[in-house]
């Protein structure tokens, strides 16, 4: 009976994951559509502004206040686009690059836009003298604990093989 309980639990967990992910996809699609619609609204306003300015130029008349109103509307729509982008970043599991401010997938180590290294919660440092890795967030570890630590097989120090090429 234990086997069937495990299978039942695994299937139930998988179903919950599917429901959660499908909900995220729907939410993502709604936000992307709203962004597309808002971007088209901004493009339309740009066209209207351009047309109004050109007509004023052709008729040798001053630019009317409707242009200022359209510019203010573009500012509002641009702010809404930023809100949508922020909502997407919560769905996409992304982080904001501290150097350029672009949203980057959280599994990236470096920003693909500016090349800056992205901050991580804990970074492992390499102690070259003992060929052992340690985490600076682990706090003060006594010498006896460090001496008994063995290097891990899955993390190897980088060799300087490229110097001979």
Structural domain total, the chain: 2
pLDDT (0 to 100) of residue 124: 35
- Judgement on whether residues 22 and 67 belong to the same structural domain of the protein: yes
- Judgement on whether residues 87 and 132 belong to the same structural domain of the protein: no
Residue 101 and residue 110 in contact, taking contact as beta carbons nearer than 8 Å: no
- Judgement on whether residues 20 and 79 belong to the same structural domain of the protein: yes
pLDDT (0 to 100) of residue 155: 52
Q: Please choose, from the candidates 39, 40, 63, the residue with its C-alpha nearest in 3D space to the C-alpha of residue 51.
A: 63
Residue 103 and residue 91 in contact, taking contact as beta carbons nearer than 8 Å: no
- Judgement on whether residues 39 and 81 belong to the same structural domain of the protein: yes
pLDDT (0 to 100) of residue 51: 93
- Judgement on whether residues 128 and 89 belong to the same structural domain of the protein: no
- Judgement on whether residues 31 and 67 belong to the same structural domain of the protein: yes
Alpha carbon distances (Å) from 105 to 64, 90, 92, 140:
45, 11, 7, 33
Q: What is the distance between the alpha carbons of residues 17 and 11, in angstroms, rounded to a whole number?
A: 10
Q: Please choose, from the candidates 48, 33, 154, the residue with its C-alpha nearest in 3D space to the C-alpha of residue 88.
A: 33
Residue 47 lies inside a defined structural domain of this protein: yes
Q: What is the distance between the alpha carbons of residues 97 and 111, in angstroms, rounded to a whole number?
A: 7
Residue 114 lies inside a defined structural domain of this protein: no
Tokens of 25: 């996809």
pLDDT (0 to 100) of residue 92: 61
Q: What is the distance between the alpha carbons of residues 76 and 160, in angstroms, rounded to a whole number?
A: 54
Residue 112 lies inside a defined structural domain of this protein: no
pLDDT (0 to 100) of residue 11: 83
Residue 45 C-alpha from the chain's centroid? 29
Residue 79 lies inside a defined structural domain of this protein: yes
Range of the domain at 145: 121-154
Alpha carbon distances (Å) from 163 to 158, 159, 160:
12, 9, 6
Q: What is the pLDDT along the chain (165 residues), one digit of tens a residue?
A: 688 888 888 888 888 877 777 777 888 889 999 999 999 999 999 999 999 999 999 999 998 888 999 999 999 999 999 999 888 877 766 678 888 988 787 778 889 999 988 876 433 333 334 444 334 444 444 444 444 444 555 555 555 554 444
Q: What is the distance between the alpha carbons of residues 51 and 96, in angstroms, rounded to a whole number?
A: 37
Residue 66 lies inside a defined structural domain of this protein: yes
Residue 149 and residue 159 in contact, taking contact as beta carbons nearer than 8 Å: no
Q: What are the residues facing 125 on neighbouring strands?
A: 134
- Judgement on whether residues 18 and 89 belong to the same structural domain of the protein: yes
- Judgement on whether residues 53 and 133 belong to the same structural domain of the protein: no
- Judgement on whether residues 72 and 149 belong to the same structural domain of the protein: no
- Judgement on whether residues 15 and 80 belong to the same structural domain of the protein: yes
């Amino acid at each position: 009976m234990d086997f069937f309980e495990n299978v039942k639990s695994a299937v139930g967990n998988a179903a919950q994951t599917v429901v959660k992910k499908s909900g995220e996809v729907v939410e993502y699609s709604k936000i992307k559509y709203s962004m597309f619609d808002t971007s088209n609204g901004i493009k339309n306003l740009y066209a209207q502004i351009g047309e109004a300015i050109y007509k004023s130029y052709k008729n040798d008349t001053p630019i009317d206040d409707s242009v200022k109103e359209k510019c203010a509307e573009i500012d509002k729509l641009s702010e809404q686009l930023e809100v949508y982008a922020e909502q997407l970043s919560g769905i996409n599991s992304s982080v904001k690059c501290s150097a350029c401010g672009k949203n980057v997938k959280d599994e990236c180590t470096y920003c693909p836009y500016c090349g800056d290294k992205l901050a991580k919660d804990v970074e492992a440092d390499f102690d070259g003298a003992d060929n052992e890795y340690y985490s600076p967030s682990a706090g003060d570890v006594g010498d006896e604990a460090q001496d008994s630590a063995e290097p891990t097989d899955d993390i190897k120090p980088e060799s300087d093989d490229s110097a001979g090429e």
